[in-house]
C-alpha cells in the first residue's frame, strides 16, 4: 500500500473520531465552554494560572506527544505496520484520547484536583491509597526510563572515538530551548501581547535555538546528562506553571506541528510504498522474538 492511501485513511479516521465521537463524549459528559475553569476561580499565580486557548492547546499537545507515544509505535513496527496503524488510530481514539479527555475534564470539574482525590471521592480512601501507590511506583519507572532516553539522546560521545555531532547539536538546542521557554513565559505573563505577536516571538525563538544548536554543539557524557536531567526535573516541579511548563510546551507545539506538516508534504510529494511486512506475528525470520 502506498503512503498517500494510508495517510488519507488515517486523516479520515481521526477526523471522524474528533467530529463524531469527540462531540458525543462532550455531550454525554455535559462539557460547557461557558463554565469558568479552576485557573480563573482559584488563580494563585503558581499552579492555577489563566492563559490563552493556544497556550493551553500547545501545553496539552506537547505533553502527550512524548517519548512513549512516538517511540512506541516505531519499535512496535517489528510486528508489522498494520497492527501499528490500528493501534495509533483505534487505540488513539478509544484509549489515549478518551483517557486524556476524561482525566482533564474530571480534574476541571473538581477544582483542578488530582485523580487521587477524585478516586477517594467516588470509590473511597482505600482506593485512593492503592492508586496513589501505583502512581508513585509507575512514576519512578517512567521518569527513570525517560531520563535514560534523554541522556542517551544527548550523549556527545559515541561508541567510536569520534564525537557525536548530531547528539551535541540536539543537546545545545534543548538547553537553549529551556531558556527561551522561561523568557517566553515572562513575556506571556507580564507583556500581555496579542496572540499573533506571541506566535511570532515563539517561532523566532524556536528558529534561533535550532540555528545556534547546529553551530554550537555541546558534548557531555551520558552520566552527566543523567544528573542534569534529574536536576531539571526537580527545578521544573517547583516552578510556577507559567514560568516553564506552559511556555515550554507552547514552543514545542510549533515544532511538532511543523514536523507533522513536513511529514504530510513529504508523503504527498514522494508517495512512498510501505515496504515493511503488514503482519509479522511474534516471529522474525522463523525465530520467536
Report the Cα 223 to chain-centroid distance in Å.
25
Query: CB within 8 A of 48, min separation 6: which ones?
Result: 38, 39, 42, 112
What does the pLDDT read at residue 161? 60
Which pLDDT score is estimated for 287? 64
Secondary structure (H, E, C), 143-192 = HHHHHHHHHHHHECECCCCCECHHHHHHHHHHHHHHHHHHHHHHHHHHHC
| Percent of the chain scoring above 90 in pLDDT | 48
Write out pLDDT tens, residues 219-244. Answer: 999 999 999 999 999 999 999 999 99
26-67 pLDDT tens trace: 999 899 988 899 999 999 988 898 888 888 888 788 878 766
CA distance 274 to 31: 40
Neighbours of 209 (CB within 10 A): 22
- CA pair distance 154, 200, nearest whole angstrom: 28
Q: SS3 for 217? A: coil
| Long-range contacts from 79-86, C-beta under 8 angstroms, 24+ separation | 79/279, 79/280, 79/281, 79/282, 80/276, 80/277, 80/278, 80/279, 80/280, 80/281, 81/274, 81/276, 81/277, 81/278, 82/278, 82/279, 83/279, 85/6, 85/10
Residue 178 grid coordinates: 529551556
- What distance in Å separates the CA atoms of residue 126 and residue 178, rounded to the nearest whole number? 40
In this structure, what C-alpha cell is assigned to residue 119?
A: 478516586
Whole-number Å distance between alpha carbons of 289 and 285: 10
Please calculate the CA angle 227-233-238 and round it to the nearest 5 degrees.
135
For residue 267, the model assigns a pLDDT of 94
Query: 165-174: b or e for each residue (b if 16 or more CB lie within 10 Å)?
Result: eebbbbbbbb
pLDDT given at position 52: 83
For residues 86 and 90, give the distance between their C-alpha atoms in angstroms, rounded to a whole number: 5
DSSP 49: -
pLDDT of residue 73: 83
Provide the 10 A C-beta neighbour count for residue 269: 9
Bridge partners of residue 201, in order along the sequence:
none
CA–CA separation, 93 and 21 (whole Å): 8
Residues 152/222, Cβ–Cβ less than 8 Å: yes
Q: Along the 289 residues of the chain, how does pLDDT read in single tens digits?
A: 899 999 999 999 999 999 999 999 999 989 998 889 999 999 998 889 888 888 888 878 887 876 677 777 888 888 889 989 998 899 889 988 888 888 889 988 899 888 888 899 888 999 999 999 998 998 899 889 889 989 998 998 876 666 788 999 999 999 999 999 999 999 988 988 888 898 899 999 999 999 999 999 999 999 999 999 999 999 999 999 999 988 998 888 898 899 999 999 999 999 999 888 888 877 666 665 5
Whole-number pLDDT of residue 252: 87
- What CA–CA distance (Å, rounded) separates 62 from 84? 21
Amino acid at each position: 500500500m502506498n503512503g498517500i492511501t494510508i495517510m488519507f485513511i488515517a486523516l479520515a479516521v481521526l477526523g471522524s473520531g474528533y467530529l463524531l465521537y469527540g462531540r458525543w463524549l462532550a455531550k454525554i459528559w455535559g462539557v460547557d465552554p461557558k463554565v469558568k475553569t479552576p485557573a480563573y476561580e482559584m488563580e494563585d499565580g503558581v499552579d492555577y494560572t489563566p492563559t490563552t486557548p493556544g497556550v493551553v492547546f500547545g501545553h496539552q499537545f506537547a505533553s502527550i506527544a512524548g517519548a512513549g507515544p512516538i517511540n512506541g509505535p516505531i519499535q512496535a513496527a517489528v510486528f508489522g505496520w498494520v497492527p501499528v496503524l490500528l493501534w495509533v488510530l483505534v487505540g488513539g481514539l478509544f484509549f489515549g484520547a478518551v483517557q486524556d479527555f476524561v482525566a482533564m475534564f474530571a480534574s476541571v470539574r473538581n477544582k483542578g484536583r488530582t485523580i487521587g482525590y477524585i478516586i477517594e471521592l467516588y470509590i473511597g480512601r482505600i482506593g485512593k491509597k492503592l492508586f496513589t501507590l501505583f502512581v508513585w511506583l509507575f512514576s519512578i519507572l517512567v521518569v527513570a526510563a525517560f531520563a535514560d532516553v534523554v541522556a542517551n539522546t544527548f550523549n556527545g560521545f559515541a561508541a567510536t572515538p569520534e564525537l557525536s555531532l548530531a547528539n551535541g547539536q540536539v543537546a545545545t538546542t534543548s538547553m537553549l530551548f529551556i531558556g527561551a521557554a522561561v523568557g517566553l513565559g515572562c513575556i506571556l505573563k507580564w507583556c500581555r501581547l496579542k496572540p499573533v505577536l506571541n506566535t511570532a516571538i515563539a517561532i523566532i525563538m524556536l528558529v534561533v535555538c535550532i540555528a545556534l544548536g547546529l553551530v554550537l554543539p555541546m558534548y557531555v557524557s551520558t552520566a552527566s546528562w543523567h544528573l542534569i536531567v534529574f536536576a531539571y526535573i526537580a527545578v521544573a516541579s517547583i516552578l510556577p506553571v507559567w514560568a516553564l511548563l506552559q511556555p515550554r510546551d507552547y514552543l514545542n507545539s510549533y515544532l511538532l506541528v511543523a514536523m507533522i506538516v513536513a511529514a504530510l508534504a513529504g508523503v504527498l510529494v514522494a508517495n512512498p510504498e510501505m515496504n515493511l511486512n503488514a503482519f509479522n506475528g511474534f516471529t522474525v525470520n522463523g525465530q520467536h522474538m
